[in-house]
Structure 1
Amino acid sequence: MKNLKYLILVLLAYSNASLAQLKAISYKDGNQVLNGFEISPPEKSTQKPGILILPAWMGVDKASKDIAASLADLGYYAFIADIYGEGNYPKDNAEAAQKSSYYKTNYKEYQKRISLALDQLIRAGASPDNIVVIGYCFGGSGALEAARGHLNVKGVVSFHGGLARDPGRTIEPIAAKVLVCHGADDPYESKEEIAAFQQEMRDTKADWQMIYYANAVHGFTNPEYGNDNSKGAAYNEKAAKRSFEHLKLFLNEVLGK
């Protein structure tokens, strides 16, 4: 028992040390100041791949910082994007819904903010031609927009993200590989939206995967959502662990690690 407690303390200390390596980075979109975070792997090299992280609708949060630290521990450069910018961070869910909806509708602006964050990831040291974009909830929608916008990324991963797109948009081939990790009971994505997304993937000739997790609703990777599925968004430990393993498999395949 003492050995187990010691091991837990060591793991917690290691995790906290990784988080401490996160560095705040200010950059700009015109006059708009953006505030992201970067973290480097233990062994730095310009040949190492990079992961761009797009946070959920409240913006940069603990969950995005935790995943950045975990990815750095695995040997990746990571950068957490700031989509909203200084002075525009939502104060509550109502504001987050309004602000995130703006970027979903004005997807070109969303793609531009993602592109600017990619530049920061490369400046941090990541190989410019070996990058994957991952996103959570609103950020998951952004990951798909990175693929739709033909940004220079090898793959994109959406965790419980929005799948919808304006049906009037032109269908164009998607080169980036696509992984969607989706709660089987997510109440925020209709059967029609899921079917339309899957048809989009077929029409664009994408190399895509969509994995469903049983008993999981929206936000299943975030412990801060609690575990009450009836609220529509809730943490599911099993789904969170499985989806992280699926992420690692995807990264190994796409980035050649």
Structure 2
Amino acid sequence: MKSKLGLSLALILLSFTGNSQSKAIASKEITYKDGAQILSGISIQPTKFLKNKPGILILPAWMGIQNHEKDVATMLAGMGYMTFIADIYGIDQRPANTKEAGAKAGYFKKNIKEYQNRIQLALDQLVQQGANPDEIVVIGYCFGGTGAIEAARINMKVKGIVSFHGGLGRDETRTIDTITPKVLVLHGADDFFVPKEEIEQFQTEMRTAKADWQMVYYANAVHAFTEKGAGNDNSKGAAYNEKADKRSWQAMLDFLNEVL
């Protein structure tokens, strides 16, 4: 599918741990399509790539592309990864509030093949922007974490997936196939939005699929523990947890070093 480059959003200078030099990060809006639906993702890439040009596809939480996803993409690009933030909903379908976000995310969870297709289209864009098609990892947050797991379930051409506080549920009528990508699930130990039964079914699924999987629990963490804008009241079910955020970030970096 032919894509059209949007206007350049910015040139950012980023310094990151372990490198004394700043790298110029080129950020571009990328317009592409799913049939008649126009989508608009963001490509952020360094001027100097890591060996083999590995790429990371980022799947946003239910509100769509927000500052959190942009920050994550920028930090990873600063480390030498080519990054692309997927647009799942479309430029004229962005939710204005959490109620709308819940409805839109719910639609794609129920119509999982459409969600899978939108992820694949974004993956295609990452490759078209220059990422090595054989060196890609998909990461996602909340709703996007669910999407990352779906990428593994259908064996998209990626080496691994990372799900941050994502939903783990699956229609039990679906066939469980062998899963090739490595799987890392980073989960809040007190996340009551993901029932115990769902966790147990997911772990059984991973074993049945003969997946190379890991699941890490973070104490005192609930849903959205990486989202600084989520507040700090665990009783609401979604809250930021600085310790879990930092630990899960390091877990992801270790995973990237292993699989890429």
Same fold (TM over 0.5): yes
Post-superposition offset of 1:252? 0.5
Amino acid at match of 1:138: F
Q: How does 1:19-168 map to 2 (within 5 A)?
A: 21-44=26-49, 47-168=52-173
- In structure 1, distance between residues paired with 2:51 and 2:37: 29
- The 1:18/1:217 distance shift into structure 2, 3 A limit, reads farther
Distance 1:121 1:18 in 2: 20
What fraction of aligned residue pairs are identical, expressed as a percent? 61
| Aligned-partner Cα distance in 1 for 2:49–2:250 | 24
More helix by share: 1
Provide, for residues 188-245 of structure 1, a one-character-per-residue CA deviation record: whole Å limited to 9, x for no partner.
Answer: 0000000000000000000000000000000000101111111110100000000000
Q: Which has the higher strand share?
A: 2
Equivalent residue number for residue 6 of structure 1: none
Residue in 2 that maps onto 1:14 = 14
Alignment partners' CA distance in 2, 1:18 and 1:184: 36
Residues 30-87 of structure 1, C-alpha deviations (whole Å, 9 max, x = no match): 1110010001123147921000000000000000000000100111000000000121
Aligned match of 1:197 in 198, 202, 209? 202
How many residue pairs get matched? 244
Q: Matched residue of 1:22: which SS? A: strand
The reply on whether 1:176 has 2:181 as its aligned counterpart is yes
**2:24 & 2:219 partners in 1: Cα distance?**
31
Structure 1's 44 and 251: CA in aligned 2 closer, same or farther, altered over 3 A? Answer: closer
Runs of at least 5 residues in structure 2 that lack an aligned partner in the other structure:
1-11, 16-21
SS at match of 1:27: strand
Query: What SS does structure 1 have at the residue aligned with 2:14?
Result: helix
Paired letter, 1:184: A
Q: 2: distance between equivalents of 1:80 and 1:225? A: 21
Contact 2:224/2:240 (<8 A) preserved = yes
Q: Is the Cα–Cα contact under 8 Å of residues 14 and 25 in structure 2 kept in the other structure? A: no
TM-score (ref. length: structure 1): 0.91
Match of 1:7 in 2: none
What amino acid is aligned across from residue 46 of structure 2 in structure 1?
P
Measure how far apart 1:105 and its partner are.
Answer: 1.2
Q: Per the alignment, do residues 126 and 13 of structure 1 end up closer, same or farther by CA in structure 2, a change over 3 Å counting?
A: closer
Asked whether the equivalents of residues 143 and 166 of structure 2 are also in contact (C-alpha less than 8 Å), the reply is: yes
Mapped to 1, the partners of 2:93 and 2:136 lie a distance apart of: 28
For residues 46 and 124 of structure 1, the distance between their equivalents in structure 2, rounded to whole angstroms, comes to: 16
Partner residue, 1:241: 246
Q: CA RMSD in A?
A: 1.8
CA distance in 2, matches of 1:89, 1:221: 22
User: In the TM superposition, what whole-angstrom CA distance separates every residue of 1:93-127 from its partner, at most 9, and x where no partner exists?
Assistant: 11111110111111111111011101110111110
